[in-house]
Chain A
């Protein structure tokens, strides 16, 4: 049983899949590996506690509350309207720079909330729900947490959120998962008062430095979690580029061809017949040379 959650001390078998999405007991996502034959301490190691505030549900709730407080306090001067203007937030980029893992537009509207989400890191895709709650204008209007289509940014994120519940649900269902609480709180109404103003000022807090808290807590797990999403398009683009580069004759359709002259020139073998089915008949240099040794 070599893996132990550094948060609650729960132990997992080697190769356990449970821990892949965070500790089901406490939502922690740091584990210590204990090689075969070594003793697994019953208590989690003190050396690397991710959170000073304790563990488990209390910890998560406490952390969320702290963040809410931070947001509220730092954003007092910011009115909801001005807060809704994400473009003004460049000064807040330090906070965002720690959260870019999630990558996309979420950055502007929900940078600060992205921070907390990524810091728990167990499911970066869940960062979506955060932006839903944030906007005070919606709250003020008595709107639900669910996104509206009025704001493009919110809406975009909200759609992700709509997709997210599957994983989020699993996490929250698992217990006091940190991510679940952070993200799900506003949605499930467990902390309806807090998140509303906090989130409402999220873009503002973004600019005013509230992200410090999340930033300091975001050691990078979130980045790892979201990497695959960003890698996918890059790989396919790269593959496309390589294909473009290495293909000497591209058959667009019968009778329509694109030729890569440098490729044709560089190749030792050369094409002497194009077949209807897209195959080539090529002249192989070895045969060529073998047949006419006397050729200068």
Chain B
């Protein structure tokens, strides 16, 4: 708690002047949130945000990359990127056992992931000015978690962009995501391959600038 507090307080002091918007990257586990956060951070700051993995719940604590300056059309936008743990209603360590993980590690990972979801939900309430909602375009977007989170975001009147990630994969369907959330702008991309990142940054500047 003390650590978090001091981090938060130093952040707020550091950026009190510029007041960058805090943009939370939300979405279900394994949608590519960290890959996207890393892509954005590398493109504009040269650093990464955190490790990426095929194993779900690789990100178990929210990670920030502060003061990412995105330049578009002669002007610049400052944002803090908050990469959050994948939000889900169930965490089961047996899921991790399939990824060659020892049971003890799997259980610990499961517990940390659960804490991470709790933290992510809390930050959504208190701590973000806008949301990038990342979905895996190869999976069905009509899930309870997606519907609930989008609903919460809407109720908060937060600006939200929906990113249809993984369009480099064959069975990706951007239209399915557009159909699921027609009230929001859906941007197709591949964070891993860097496909369509220009439009991504245009939209970020437009929505969160």
Contact = CB atoms under 8 A, between A and B. Distances in A.
B180 interface: no
Q: Give the size category of B's interface with A.
A: 20 to 34
Nearest to B118: A271
Given A255-B92, A264-B122, A271-B115, A291 B16 contact: no
Interface string A252-290: 001111111110111100111110000000010001100
B54 interface: no
Contacts of B145: 261
B110 A256 contact: yes
A265 B118 CA distance: 8
A235 interface: no
Given A255-B107, A256-B93, A265-B152, A272 B4 contact: yes
Majority-rule SS of B interface residues: helix
Contacts of A260: 89
Given A271-B115, A292-B8, A292-B12, A264 B91 contact: no
A231 interface: no
Interface in B82-99: 87-94
A258 B121 contact: no
Given A259-B114, A271-B115, A294 B122 contact: no
A294 B114 contact: no
Nearest to A260: B89
Contacts, number: 91
B8 A270 contact: no
Nearest to A283: B1
B5 interface: yes
B4 A255 contact: no
Nearest to B8: A292
A265 B125 contact: yes
A295 interface: yes
A257 B91 contact: yes
B121 A292 contact: no
B9 A294 contact: yes
B115 A255 contact: no
B124 interface: yes
B119 to A, nearest CB: 6
B111 interface: yes
Nearest to B11: A295
20 contacts: A249-B114, A254-B111, A255-B106, A256-B92, A256-B110, A258-B90, A259-B89, A259-B90, A259-B118, A261-B87, A261-B117, A272-B115, A272-B118, A292-B5, A292-B9, A292-B12, A294-B12, A295-B8, A295-B9, A296-B12
Interface of A: 248-249, 254-262, 264-267, 270-274, 283, 287-288, 291-292, 294-296
A-B pairs, 9 with minimum CB distance: A255-B93, A255-B107, A270-B122, A264-B121, A271-B118, A255-B110, A257-B114, A292-B9, A291-B5
